[in-house]
Chains A and B, each alone.
Chain A
Amino acid sequence: MIRLMRFLKPYWLEVVGVLILTLFGVFSELFLPRLMGNIVDRGIATGDINYIYRTGFLMLLIAVLGTIATVYSRYLSATSASAYGRDLRGAVFAKVQDFTLNEFDKMGTSSMITRTTNDINQMQQVTIMSMRMMVRAPFMLIGGLIMAITTNLELSKVLLIAAPILIGVITLVGYKGFPLFKEIQKKIDGLNKVLREELTGIRVIRAFNKTSYEEKRFNVANRSLTDTALKVARLMALMMPLLSLILNFTIIGVIWYGSGLISRLDLEVGGLMAFIQYVSQIMFSLIMVSMIFVTIPRASASATRINEVLDLETEIIDGTDFSNDKIKGELEFRDVGFSYQGAESPAVCNISFKTSLGRTTAIIGGTGSGKTTLLNLIMRFYDVSEGEILLNGENIKDLKQEELRKHFGLVSQKPLLFTGSIRDNIRFGNDDATDDEIIEALKISQIYDFVKQNEKGLDYVLAQGGKNLSGGQKQRLSIARALVRKPEIYLFDDSFSALDFKTDRMVRDNLKKVTEDSAIVIIAQRVSTIRDADNIIVLDEGKIVGQGRHEDLVKNCDVYREIVLSQLGEEALK
């Protein structure tokens, strides 16, 4: 948590300001009882009305000045804490953009999201609470003690008994309460989980007639949560009255002991009155200080998680070259092998093939055979463990990543669109695409009719990344997005699976015309999609078991033959 303070550094001036101003505010608050005590002891006792007026005026002045100071300190703490949050967020986000798939695998996407949102918000909250409360409370405590002691040293001894009791009670409550709070969170999560499963699996539950079983599950979780919640509530019910009881009995102690002192003329009545108010302030700030100890662990958990992100270095070191592009469209795999971190066996090995402009290279194989892995390696989302990948004759590790990816147009398996207009989404592939170019791409992807249907057309905003679109529609849009890029090499990762056969054919036919000058790498499950590719690579368990044209593979490659058989039947083999 302290490490993250460096984000607060640029605002050190404001922070110092907050400290000073808070000090001033606290001082003014503490001084008022003293002045009131003076009114009693010097004004009332002597019957000096003027003194009373003067003191009253002084009190007012100090109160006003104190308020101004506090208000200004609130302003400074608000701006600096918010700036801290903003800067921290920006740094984390930028860092994540540098990450490759390895880092996302390590942490998990949803964890990454939580760290950038919830955890940072938590830090911002804590920072502002620190500057408000955590600065104030210790000042109040120390200041109060000083005022109390300077009012009457003897009387202050009462605090020696009271303070430990108070701290003891708070600690006890905390000790019991902490595990309970954790438990409640767990029970809440548990109940949520049961409910969520009920909702997402409603069809299955009803189909299997498991309704009463699920109800029982829910009731158990509900009961459990209620029991724990009750325990917590009752504990809290105890805490507040107990704390105020301790405070009040301390005051009683002060009065009793103070009365004795007054009768011995060691203390004045006004002093006692002031002292009583100091006691309240001191005890109260003790409670505040203990709350600091509650919030710190929570915050430090968040801080650790944020630091983990900031500390994570990506393993893929960027190259420095720009490609010379003397040759074009040549992607070559030379005996490439790759294993995911911690995996026993390699995902792919001994992969060698070459693409060239105007040719279509297809990759086919069952689930888990390594197809998508190959694409990830091409895009350098992972680095190869063995062998090398060359683009136009240069090792892709030598190229700048940005340079490398400029050559490709990727259409992934599960297309992802962003919130924004259709135009913005297509432009994502190429910032400079004109509306005409966009429309052209949409037509080729057989999705223009759909866009035209809506009166806003290109301006139609896809909410939540296209939630209302069908899988097929999203896929066609993402094909269009790749098209406007006019890349050298197209990478289609099972991009036609959500389309029915007819549309699949039409889109591919259209694509053929446009992509004549490019190289295409296409991964598919359907033989019909890749049948007329120039080079078909058959993958099985990460290895190439066949490479060539359809007619040859049907004769020579067992795996391929089986696939064709199961999909197209006997006739296709003839």
Chain B
Amino acid sequence: MSENKDRQKSQAPQGPRMGRGGPPGSGMMRPPEKAKDFKGTLKRLVGYIKPYKITLFFVVVFAILSTVFSIISPRVMGMITTHLYEGVVDSDTGISMEYVVRFIILLGGLYLLSAVFSYIQQYLISGVSQKLVYDLRKELNNKLQRLPLKFFDSKTTGEILSRATNDVDVISNTLQQSVTSVIVSIFTLVGILVMMILISPIITLVTIITIPLSILLTKNIAKRSQKYFADQAKSLGELNGHIEETYTGHITVKAFGNEKKVIEEFESINSQLYTHSYKSQFISGIIMPLMQLISSLGYVIVSVVGGIYVINGRLPIGDIQAFIQYSRQFNQPIMQLAEVINTFQSTVASAERVFELLDEEEEKKDIEDSIILAEPKGNVRFDRVKFGYSKDNILIDEMNIEVKSGQTVAIVGPTGAGKTTLVNLLMRFYELDGGKITIDNIPTTEMTRHNLRAMFGMVLQDTWLFNGTIKENIAYGKDDVTEDDIYRAAKLAQGDHFIRTLPQGYETMLNEEASNISQGQKQLLTIARAILADPNILILDEATSNVDTRTEQLIQKGMEELMKGRTSFVIAHRLSTIKNADVILVMNEGKIIEKGNHNQLLEDKGFYAELYNSQFVA
């Protein structure tokens, strides 16, 4: 009972981390992913931004304005300092508080404007980026609804989820943070340089050595740390995989007495992780102090050279102060630019993955003049049907089946013989490679999918119940049902009894993995669901093999009632289920090798007979 709880492997990604992306500078530490078609994807991505051209224009303008105001302020502050200094040195003129106050007001105004523009700009761009992300997500989801089942079977849930959530978030984060970051950084750098040159070209020249030094340092260290971070990610992945396996398989580990073995393996991966971890932490941790050193170098140079200039009267002291402030502001924009360049690559890679999804081939549309069968009788015919999941592996070839209305067809055979495939084709989850399937003599391709699928009732091996009440789950197939209809369906499916023993009965909320009821009970609910849908044609896919044999008997009784007058396809392992069928199709390796009812097939002494008899020989 309890071993089944929480055995779900976490296939889905951890979920996006929105908002703060972590400590500053961390973006450039991770190795960037490379996109396959950088230019193309970039162009396409820009296309999504186009509708917001005007807003973005204002964003850019405000960002520039905000930067400009903040660049001017050190200069203004310098003027105040100069005045103060000269006021002290030359006690005749003294300090005019009026002058000081005037400039302080100017300074305050600049700061205020800068802050206001910065706020507006951020406000606007968050609106744009969120709207963009909303649209992208919606588009993705719409696309998913139009994709053929082929697509979903070929990818893991985790992969698809990752694109729809993680990748989309990366795009949104980049738009929100990096776009303005770039503008601000570039303008800050340029502005600072301009101001510095205006003060003194020579000191600027001297200080400017620090810029290439910073850039070189950043690049080198980033490269080194990327390698270590990649190693760390790998070790972490290995370790997490080991933990997941051994915890999920805890019984197996204990049953074979392998606790120590498993711990040893763990320790070895763990110590690898330790090495990669401290190395990457260390390397990424020294960027700050080293950049600080370079900045301090500049600081010292400016202090010394500037001091001399002031003594020689070549520069007012306020300018030196301003210069110092400017030189201290170098680091931030350089680091931000480096980070943006890095994340940008990953962003384009993410965008590429999203676009791949949007470009997937869609299901063939329903044809223009599709026929709608108002009252299907349920005569099903397979006419020279040919199909394979891949071109070089044809599973079904020249298959002909004729099923009259109300008959029960049992499909039997070893696993992988093509039985689930039949379901896929009947429901038009996959397209045929040749031949046609008709219902009441009308080819399924000429009907709307909606109409076609509404004719069928499916009970699958994989029960699919969602996070809702039992009532809602049973009624999933039909929109306008009364409570009595629901109870009746549940009774027929032999589920009514257990539902009423639950504390909240029909209002019981199934949790996300529907793990608060047993596997057998789940099956009963899905059977009730199918019964309620009242379809013309039933498909039962090994539906009853997880329910205990006594309950199965009861269900069978109910199902027999239900199957009266309805065409039914039963895929089963249990020969007892099959024995009462009108037609048995024996499949092996995709082909129908035998056809007939139970007694006939036994007389034929073929594959079916062998299968059946292997139960009885003692």
Contacts and interface: CB of A to CB of B under 8 A. Distances in A.
A215 B149 contact: no
Interface in A399-452: 401-402, 405-406, 408, 410, 412, 414, 416, 418-419, 428-429, 431
A454 interface: no
Interface in A231-288: 232-234, 236-238, 240-242, 244-245, 248-249, 251-252, 255-256, 259-260, 262-263, 265, 268-269, 272-273, 276
A47 B100 contact: no
Contact of A234 (B95, B123, B321): B123
B203 to A, nearest CB: 14
Contacts of B520: 367-368
Nearest to A232: B19
A368 B1 contact: yes
Q: Which 7 A-B pairs have the closest CB atoms?
A: A366-B548, A237-B122, A233-B126, A56-B304, A74-B285, A82-B278, A78-B281
A221 to B, nearest CB: 9
Given A259-B97, A500-B415, A93 B119 contact: no
20 contacts: A32-B299, A39-B304, A52-B308, A56-B300, A74-B281, A90-B270, A96-B247, A118-B14, A124-B277, A181-B19, A192-B12, A233-B130, A241-B118, A255-B77, A259-B84, A259-B100, A269-B81, A273-B321, A379-B251, A562-B549
Given A90-B267, A193-B467, A569 B611 contact: no
Contacts of B252: 410, 412, 416, 428
A259 B88 CA distance: 10
A165 interface: no
Interface residues of B, number: 160
B341 interface: no
Contact of B254 (A94, A112, A379): A379
Q: Is the interface of B mostly helix, strand, loop or mixed?
A: helix
B552 A566 contact: yes
Contact of A568 (B6, B296, B576): B576
Contacts of B249: 416, 418, 465
A82 B277 contact: yes
A262 B579 CA distance: 106
B550 A368 contact: no
A135 interface: no
A367 B293 contact: no
B405 interface: no
B274 A83 contact: yes
Contact of B263 (A81, A94, A412, A501): A94
Interface in B151-171: 152, 157, 160-161, 164-165
Contacts of B123: 234, 237
Given A96-B247, A198-B144, 8 more contacts: A49-B307, A63-B296, A81-B281, A82-B277, A93-B243, A219-B138, A262-B87, A416-B245
Contacts of B263: 93-94, 97
Nearest to A194: B141
B477 A256 contact: no
Contacts of B89: 45
B18 A229 contact: yes
A260 B87 CA distance: 12
A265 B462 CA distance: 86
Contacts of A233: 122, 126, 129-130, 176
A351 interface: no
A331 B38 CA distance: 68
A284 B270 CA distance: 37
A10 interface: no
Contacts of A56: 300, 303-304, 307
A419 B245 contact: yes
Contacts of A210: 476
B248 interface: yes
Contacts of A372: 1, 3
Interface in A494-535: 498, 500-502, 504-505, 525, 528, 531-532
Nearest to B96: A263
Interface in B39-63: none
A78 B282 contact: yes
A449 to B, nearest CB: 15
Contacts of B477: 208
A562 B518 contact: no
A59 B300 contact: yes
A189 B551 CA distance: 37
Given A82-B277, A429-B256, A204 B460 contact: yes
Nearest to B66: A241
Contacts of A129: 23
B549 A366 contact: yes
Contacts of A122: none
Contacts of A226: 130-131, 133-134
A199 interface: yes
B161 A196 contact: yes
Contacts of B547: 367
B118 A206 contact: no
Interface stretch (B395-403, B451-459, B563-571): B451-459
B6 A39 contact: no
A507 to B, nearest CB: 12
Contacts of B548: 365-369, 525
Interface in A357-403: 365-369, 372-373, 376, 379, 381, 401-402
Main SS class of interface, A: helix
B414 interface: yes
Contact of B115 (A116, A236, A242, A412): A242
Nearest to B165: A192
Contacts of B16: 188
Contacts of B549: 366, 525, 562-563, 566-567
Contact of A97 (B176, B259, B464, B512): B259
Given A40-B317, A199-B160, A232-B19, A340 B8 contact: no
A195 B165 contact: yes
Contact of A419 (B7, B241, B460): B241
B85 interface: yes
Given A104-B250, A193-B512, A241-B119, A230 B107 contact: no
Interface centre among B176, B300, B518 (most CB of A within 10 A): B300
A531 to B, nearest CB: 7
A5 interface: no
A431 B281 CA distance: 38
B248 A109 contact: yes
A25 B289 contact: yes
A222 interface: yes
Given A200-B157, A226-B130, A207 B427 contact: yes
B574 interface: yes
Given A93-B266, A252-B111, A405 B243 contact: no
A498 B542 CA distance: 12
Interface in A88-102: 89-90, 93-94, 96-101
Contacts of B618: 531-532
B82 to A, nearest CB: 9
A109 B5 contact: yes
Nearest to B279: A78
Interface in A546-574: 559, 562-563, 566-569, 572
A36 B95 contact: no
B454 A367 contact: no
A505 B614 contact: yes
Interface stretch (A64-72, A142-150, A167-175): A64-72
Interface in B432-490: 449-450, 453-454, 456, 458, 460, 464, 466-467, 476-477
A70 B574 contact: no
B504 interface: no
Interface in B218-260: 236, 239-259
Contact of A245 (B3, B115, B274, B614): B115
A256 to B, nearest CB: 5
A568 B304 CA distance: 100
A32 B296 contact: yes
B5 A108 contact: yes
